[in-house]
A = this chain, B = another copy of it.
Amino acid sequence: MSSTASSTSTQIQLASRPVGWPTPENFRTVTVELPDLAEGEVRVANEFISVDPYMRGRMNDVKSYIPPFALDETMTGGAVGRVIASRAEDLPVGTAVLHQLGWRDIAQAEASAFRQVTEIHGAPLSLHLGILGMTGLTAYVGLTRIAGLRSGETVFISGAAGAVGSAAGQIARLLGAERVIGSAGSAEKVELLTSKYGFDAALNYKDAPVREQLPELALDGVDVFFDNVGGDHLEAALDVMNTGGRLALCGAIASYNAEEPTPGPDNLSALITRSLRMEGFTLGGHFDLADEYAQRMTEWFAAGEIAYDETVVGGIDHAVDAFLGMMQGQNTGKMVVRTA
């Protein structure tokens, strides 16, 4: 191993469970001394860590598809970096790796905790946390396996300027969607959707109720709804879904920080009268599509078919700010923290 590798790690822990919106007081920063590397272990200097909406759910102590974050433990989650010290043959110093050890500048563990990533010329390593990684795969699974998108259909994507949303819009088009409509929370994002991401139409949900705006953009109805928001967006979509339509529920960011249960849409009867299918999903059961996705996305990416944005926040000390900003919609595209 290199004798120059950092031997301390700065880490962000969950100090208490938030009620409603998280605050900086729910987190604490610690610096720990790392033990010497054991045989089979590697030490990784993270370049980017990921902050994602699903993490809010894990801060609650409730049964869900993944267990809650443990109190007084370092926050876990996606991160990419490079090996700076190694006692594992497969991962020599310099290797770019992806892992789930989360919110820390230096990660050290057995080599099996890290997966080497294929570096694409001109693509920053952070894209493996976004369009080239789980974010993009989430969009692909929702459109294909869950919604069964068919060529010629109209797709509506809520939270479309977010990481998953902007991937979903472009993938929907590449899969043959005839019309792609998105929602976002600022004039700048709405402009980006049509100018950069190829959406046919977009609405700013802060301008007027989605229920009023959407019908004007979806004169022929909507066949597939890819939902990252829930609440008013889901209700508006149900109003305009065509018979036989499919709703893929990926996220419900509108309610993640609610302190009380919020009522559902008042038009669920549309499911019966228009034979709609609404299905929630998480990536957990669908990793079998990862290779298929990687192959298609690599081709699309190489052909220059994919645009992306990242909102990069500098410094592990700002990880909490980045997370809170993402929950408030301050990001365009994937929100990542640059640790270096």
Would you call B271 and A249 a contact (CB within 8 A)? yes
Within the complex, what minimum Cβ distance (angstroms) separates A138 from chain B? 12
- Which A residues, 218 to 273, have Cβ-Cβ distances below 8 Å to chain B? 230, 234, 243-244, 249-252, 255, 261-273
Report the count of interface residues on A (CB-CB < 8 A).
36
Would you call B243 and A273 a contact (CB within 8 A)? no
Given contacts A268-B230, A278-B277, A279-B277, contact A65 B243 (CB under 8 A): yes
CA distance A262 to B272 in the complex (A): 15
Would you call A277 and B275 a contact (CB within 8 A)? no
Would you call B275 and A278 a contact (CB within 8 A)? no
CA distance A273 to B282 in the complex (A): 7
Q: Which of B65, B251, B252, B272 contacts A280 (CB 8 A)?
A: B272
Would you call B268 and A264 a contact (CB within 8 A)? yes
Would you call A273 and B230 a contact (CB within 8 A)? no
Instruction: Decide yes or no whether A80 CB sits under 8 A from chain B.
Output: no
Residue of B nearest to A244 (CB): B285
Interface core residue of A251, A255, A270, A277 (most chain B CB under 10 Å):
A277
Residues of B within 8 A of A267 (CB): 261, 264
- The contact string, 1 if C-beta is below 8 Å from chain B, for chain A 280-291, is 111011000000
Given contacts A261-B266, A266-B262, A266-B263, contact A64 B273 (CB under 8 A): yes
Given contacts A230-B268, A264-B263, contact A280 B285 (CB under 8 A): no
Within the complex, what minimum Cβ distance (angstroms) separates A58 from chain B? 11
CA distance A209 to B273 in the complex (A): 27
Residues of B within 8 A of A269 (CB): 230, 252, 255, 280
CA distance A52 to B271 in the complex (A): 19
CA distance A275 to B285 in the complex (A): 9
Would you call B277 and A272 a contact (CB within 8 A)? no
CA distance A93 to B256 in the complex (A): 67
Within the complex, what minimum Cβ distance (angstroms) separates A142 from chain B? 11
Residues of B within 8 A of A271 (CB): 249, 278-280
Interface core residue of A268, A278, A280 (most chain B CB under 10 Å):
A268
Residues of B within 8 A of A262 (CB): 266
CA distance A265 to B265 in the complex (A): 8
Within the complex, what minimum Cβ distance (angstroms) separates A54 from chain B? 9
A-to-B contact residues, CB < 8 Å? 57, 64-65, 230, 234, 243-244, 249-252, 255, 261-282, 284-285
Besides the known contacts A252-B272, A263-B266, A264-B265, 8 further A-B residue pairs in the complex with CB atoms under 8 A apart: A249-B268, A262-B266, A263-B263, A263-B265, A271-B278, A271-B280, A275-B279, A275-B281
Q: List 29 A-B contacts (CB under 8 A).
A: A57-B273, A64-B273, A65-B243, A65-B273, A65-B275, A230-B269, A234-B268, A249-B268, A249-B272, A250-B272, A251-B272, A252-B272, A264-B265, A264-B266, A264-B267, A264-B268, A265-B268, A271-B279, A272-B281, A273-B282, A275-B279, A275-B280, A275-B281, A276-B279, A276-B280, A277-B277, A277-B278, A277-B279, A278-B278
